[in-house]
Amino acid sequence: MEHVLNLVAVHRVTDGGVSLSGTIRAVANGDRDAFSRLYADYSRMVHAVLLGRVPRRDVDDLVQDVFVTAYTRIRELREPAAFGGWIATIARNRATDYLRQSREQVELPDELPGGDPIEAETFAVLEVIRGLPEAYRDTLLMRLVEGMSGQEIADRTGLAPGSVRVNLHRGMKLLREKLGLET
Amino acid sequence: MKDDYLWDPSSAPDPEVERLERMLGRLRSNAPAPDLPGRFAGKGPRYTSARFLVPTLAAAASIVAMIGLTWQTTRGIRSWEVSRMTGQPRIGSAPLAGTGRLGVGQTLVTDAASRARLDVSTIGQATVDTDSRVRLVDTREGHHKLALERGTLHAFITAPPGQFVVDTPSATATDLGCVYTLHVDEDGTGMLSVTAGWVAFEFNGRESFVPAGASARTDPRIGPGTPRYDDAALELQAALDDFDYGADATAKARDLQLVLSSATPRDAMTLWHLIARVSPADRTAVIDALDARVPMPASITREAVMRLDKAALDQWWDALGLRDAGWWRKWKGPYPADVK
């Protein structure tokens, strides 16, 4: 019975009012609508995790890879409440694989902004965030790129709200310093 | 407290954080959920207490898998076969070795050394050249759609008109039964060149009907440019580009005059497109130029053309010998083999 999902102690509810455990059980039974709900709820978090690690041009493709992997392996997830952390780990591992493969192939510039100075500034700030410690980097990207609130970040990642608040606060402080905004 | 805004975006905003949000929000993605493989059928028993059942279940799983494979192969509804031609194309981030399937929502990527071929369901083929990126948006009976984000795609489509559509950043190409090449640059500008049949090129209501032997540029600022035959005089083509995409009004007026004065009867297709693209002040000159190459039908009036009356424009289009406007607009009726 190791692969049977433990659905007992899960109380978290997805945005549509359906419990996370119910959604995951439905996905495990091949329900594509349930999968779409999971994607809607968690794709921004996965996008942020990948954006902090790999070139932007490949992030959308890797997000799709991560969700297909999650779909095919979802019966390995024993605790539905851990889904957020689980899929974030898949995303981090996928980014590591990607970077390993990329090193074996031709090196390309990380980002190729056009001549637009605003676009160049955006990529410059992204590069600074990528240089922050992992906990700050992921949390800040979820907040500043994906527009997630602190509570949403806590809900999706499984982190304690207090930890998210600290990560946001310290991450923003570091970012301000590196951008020369700190007075 | 300013950091409250970091936690709760609905609280009093911190201008600095707001600015970062606006800037970095551009990196957000709206990519659709991936199309999923049908994988759970026959995945195996969740309860394995009866050991003797395993061979039976394995056989059943094989049968289900075979049925699933046959179903996918014969129906091919949600994915297309893609074949490596040269180099190392990728589907998403996965290298393509030999052949594979491109699912709805997935992206085929080629680098400077790789090319790939797509089987467009059962209606044709598309070759994806080097340094290209193309996403399968949708595929179902009677409707197949790609998004060419950058690079070059050669399409050979045998389906009835209107079934194969390619989105680009600055125009949508709808196949009207034909062979064509579509190219998109990094900045979203592009070029459509039609070898056989016709392609309708459209963006925000601005249409170009491009026949065989003709091309049309496209640009995110205005959409599809005015189509012209590839064998048109080079000075006419250059003036047309400047007219379509130039910013200097004086230069544009000069370019328009050059187009009108150098157009041949074969360029009537170009002049017809210009009627709706020029200002009312310049429209009289365009009407005169077209009238001199292909006389205005007696059934319509200059006034109707001046006010861009659709029926009048359609009747003049019919007089160009490029099939009737109803076929163009509705993409119905038999393949017009009488038109070269």
Task: Over range A31-58, report the average pLDDT.
Answer: 92
pLDDT at B326: 59
Structure tokens at B3: 């950091």
- Shortest distance, CA B3 to any CA of chain A (angstroms): 7
The CATH code belonging to domain B79-225 is 2.60.120.1440
User: How many CB atoms are located within 10 Å of the residue A28 CB?
Assistant: 22
What's the whole-number average pLDDT of chain A? 81
Average pLDDT over residues A140-159: 93
Q: Please report which residue ranges of chain B form alpha helices under DSSP H.
A: 3-7, 15-24, 53-75, 234-245, 249-262, 268-275, 280-293, 302-306, 310-318, 325-330
Q: Is the pTM of this model over 0.80?
A: no
- Please report, for chain B, how many H helices and E strands are present, in that order: 10, 18
Whether B9 and A98 lie within 8 Å, measured CB to CB: no
- Which of A64, A65, A150 has the CB atom closest to B7's CB atom? A150
Please give, rounded to a whole number of angstroms, the shortest distance from the CA of B253 to a CA of chain A. 29
pLDDT confidence of A182, banded at 50, 70, 90? low
Q: In terms of DSSP bridges, do strands B143-157 and B164-167 run parallel, antiparallel, or are they unpaired?
A: parallel
pLDDT of residue B44: 32
Contacts of A106 in chain B (CB under 8 A): 111
In the predicted structure, residue A53 carries a pLDDT above the cut 70:
yes
Residue with tokens 């003036």: B239
CA distance to A20, A74, B39, per residue, from A83 (Å): 9, 9, 20
> What SS3 state is found at B122?
coil
- A16 band by pLDDT with thresholds 50, 70 and 90: very low
Cβ–Cβ under 8 Å, residues B152 and B169: no
**Beta bridge partner(s), residue B147:** B135, B167
Residues of A in contact with B17 (CB under 8 A): 144, 172
Buried b (16+ CB within 10 A) or exposed e, A130-151: eebeeebbbbbbbbbbbebbbe
Determine, for residues A35 and B28 on separate chains, whether the beta-carbon distance falls below 8 Å. no
Q: Which residues of B touch A (CB under 8 A)?
A: 3, 6-10, 16-17, 20-21, 23-29, 31, 33-34, 36-41, 46, 90, 92-94, 105-107, 109, 111, 186-187
Q: Is A66:A94 a contact under the CB 8 Å cutoff?
A: yes
Low-confidence ranges of chain B (pLDDT < 50): 1, 39-77, 331-340
Strands B190-196, B214-219: pairing is antiparallel
Give the closest of A62, A126, A149 to B8, CB-based. A149
**Do B168 and B184 form a contact (C-beta atoms < 8 A)?**
yes
Residue whose pair of structure tokens reads 């963006």 in the numeric block:
B203
Q: Count Cβ atoms within 10 A of the Cβ of residue B38 and give its class: 0-12 exposed, 13-18 middle, 19 or more buried.
A: middle
Q: Name the residue in chain A with its Cα closest to that of B49.
A: A1
Tell me the per-residue pLDDT of B117-143, one tens digit each, with 9 for 90 and over: 998 877 888 999 999 999 998 888 888
Angle value at C-alpha B286, between B285 and B290, nearest 5 degrees: 120
Yes or no, beta carbons of B21 and A36 under 8 Å apart: no
Determine the 3-state secondary structure of A19 from DSSP. Answer: strand
Whether B106 sits inside 8 A of A168 (CB atoms) is no
Q: Do A64 and B92 touch (CB under 8 A)?
A: yes
User: Any idea what DSSP says for residue B15?
Assistant: H
Structure tokens at B10: 């609905």
Nearest to A98 among B10, B93, B111 (CB): B93
Under 8 Å CB pairs connecting chains A and B tally to: 112
Instruction: Say whether residue A124 is in contact with chain B using an 8 A CB cutoff.
Output: no
Q: Are B6 and B17 in contact (CB under 8 A)?
A: yes
Q: In a mutagenesis test of the A interface, which of B1, B2, B6, B30 is the best target, namely the one with the most A β-carbons within 10 Å?
A: B6
Pairing of the two strands B115-120 and B198-203 = unpaired
**Domain positions in chain B:** 28-75, 79-225, 233-340
A32 interaction partners in chain B (CB closer than 8 Å):
36
Q: Which chain A residue lies closest to B188 (C-alpha atoms)?
A: A114
C-alpha atoms less than 13 angstroms from C-alpha of B237 in its C-beta half-sphere: 12
- Using the predicted structure, report yes or no on whether residue A132 has a pLDDT greater than 80: yes
Nearest to B198 by CA among B221, B184, B186, B215: B215
Length of chain B (residues): 340
How far apart, in Å, are the Cα atoms of A11 and each of A18, A21, A87, B188?
10, 8, 19, 47
Residues B96/B82, Cβ–Cβ less than 8 Å: yes
Percent of chain A whose predicted confidence (pLDDT) is above 90:
42
**Using alpha carbons only, what angle is made at residue B52 by residues B51 and B54, rounded to the nearest 5 degrees?**
75
How many angstroms away from the CA of B241 is the closest CA of chain A?
A: 22
**Chain A contact probe: residue of B8, B18, B19, B23 with most A CBs at under 10 A:** B23
Alpha-carbon gap: B263 to the closest alpha carbon of chain A (Å): 37
| pLDDT number for residue B297 | 95
* Nearest residue to B116 (alpha-carbon basis) of B104, B108, B106: B108
Which domains, and CATH codes, for chain A? 1-107 (1.10.1740.10), 113-183 (1.10.10.10)
Highest mean pLDDT among A74-83, A144-153, B318-327: A144-153
Residue labelled with tokens 């429209």? B283
Neighbours of B49 (CB within 10 A): 6
DSSP A5: -
pLDDT on residue B323: 66
**How far apart are the C-alpha atoms of B320 and B253, rounded to whole Å?**
25
A163 touches chain B (CB under 8 A): no
Is A44 in the B-facing interface, judged by CB distances under 8 Å? yes
Nearest chain A CA: its distance from B151 CA (Å): 14
Of A43, A61, A176, the CB nearest to B92: A61
- Positive or negative, the CA dihedral A132, A135, A138, A142 is negative
Is there a contact between A119 and B23 (Cβ–Cβ < 8 Å)? no
3-state secondary structure (DSSP) of residue B95: strand
Distance CA B203, CA A75 (A): 45
Q: How far apart are the CA of A29 and the nearest CA of chain B, in angstroms?
A: 7
Contact A39 B33 (CB under 8 A): yes
Please check whether residue A4 touches B, CB under 8 A: yes
Chain centroid, CA B130 distance in Å: 18
**C-alpha distance from B233 to closest chain A C-alpha (Å):** 33
